[in-house]
Amino acid sequence: MRKDVNVYLFDPTRKYFHIVMELENVPGALRSVLEVMQGLHLNVLGSFSSVDSSARLGVWSGFVEDSTHSAWDLKRKLGASPFVHDAMVVESSKGFLVDGLHFPVAFNTGTRAVMMGARALANMLGTVNEQFGSGGNVILYEEGRSYGKEVGAEYMMKLGADFIASNLAEVLKLYQALGWFRVSAVKSDPAGGTIAIQAEENFECAGADSKVPHSHFVRGHLEGMATTWLGKPMECRETLCIAKGDERCEFVLSPRAA
């Protein structure tokens, strides 16, 4: 299933609101507030909630459609709930509603994130390949490797090397959680020290047309990550690629020859 992030809505014939509430972090708070919204007949179009288990307050944020209330009305009615610590309500302007209430964007781990369109980013990476050929591919690969090493170290710190090594298939779903590609299978060969990763819909290769494997940034990222996790130099080859007509991309990690 797709993971949606509210960015903006636009329809000049409709009226939207952005509602952000700070809620008491107690059982039943969210249900109670959703019941209030149901009573107001608000049509919730997209929402997220976040809470730190130790925090006193959590946040619910949503885009809703409604033609009968004013922002002031909604703020007052939602704010009357004993579970609502504070409520902010912003009305669309001529049918345009943009999330101007949240910044920065962050993963739930607290790491700040930036979002980009996958196709635009893939095209940006592809331009380096088109302009600089194999030299460009090396740049993309080195950029990916540097990024992979950095976040690999962050995961190492949080999860530990032993956990990662014994739960690799599960941990590699981090790529899926971030929208890079879907992991359909991970096959480890302990004898040869190789790890094959089946990657579906890899953003770097989707829509590309190539006679050779097309992924350099993601391939480098996997290599940097694996090198950090396994504590020894690894190399990553892309053995199947959707850009050359294969059903999926496949990456094979193996120990780098000395």
Binding flag, residue 205, Zn ion (CB under 5 A): yes
Give how far Cα 239 sits from Cα of 44, 53, 142, 258, Å.
44, 43, 19, 22
CA–CA separation, 189 and 207 (whole Å): 31
Q: Which is nearer to Zn ion, 81 or 215 (CB)?
A: 215
194-200: strand order across its sheet: 182-189, 194-200, 249-255, 234-240
Q: Which is nearer to Zn ion, 33 or 128 (CB)?
A: 128
CB of 214 to Zn ion, least distance (A): 5
Among residues 137, 215, 227, 228, the one that binds Zn ion under rule CB under 5 A: 215
CB of 248 to Zn ion, least distance (A): 8
Q: Which is nearer to Zn ion, 186 or 241 (CB)?
A: 241
Q: Which is nearer to Zn ion, 40 or 206 (CB)?
A: 206
Alpha helix ranges (H) inside the chain: 29-39, 71-79, 118-159, 161-166, 168-171, 174-177, 217-230
Q: Which is nearer to Zn ion, 140 or 205 (CB)?
A: 205
CB of 180 to Zn ion, least distance (A): 12
DSSP secondary structure of 172-222: TTHHHHTTS-EEEEEEEETTTTEEEEEEES-TTTTT---SS---SHHHHHH
Judged by CB under 5 A, which stretch of 102-110, 116-124, 153-161, 247-255 contacts Zn ion? 247-255
Among residues 249, 250, 251, 252, the one that binds Zn ion under rule CB under 5 A: 249
Taking residue 123's Cβ as centre, other Cβ atoms within 10 Å add up to 13
Q: Which is nearer to Zn ion, 9 or 205 (CB)?
A: 205
Number of residues that bind Zn ion (CB under 5 A): 5
CA–CA separation, 185 and 26 (whole Å): 39
Binding flag, residue 241, Zn ion (CB under 5 A): yes
CB of 184 to Zn ion, least distance (A): 14
Ranges within 16-75 binding Zn ion (CB under 5 A): none
Q: Which is nearer to Zn ion, 54 or 134 (CB)?
A: 134
Give how far Cα 52 sits from Cα of 56, 85, 86, Å.
8, 16, 17
Contact yes or no for 218/201 (Cβ under 8 A)? no
Judged by CB under 5 A, which stretch of 21-29, 78-86, 161-169, 234-242 contacts Zn ion? 234-242
CA angle 218/125/205 to nearest 5° reads 55
Tell me which residues touch Zn ion (CB under 5 A).
Answer: 205, 214-215, 241, 249
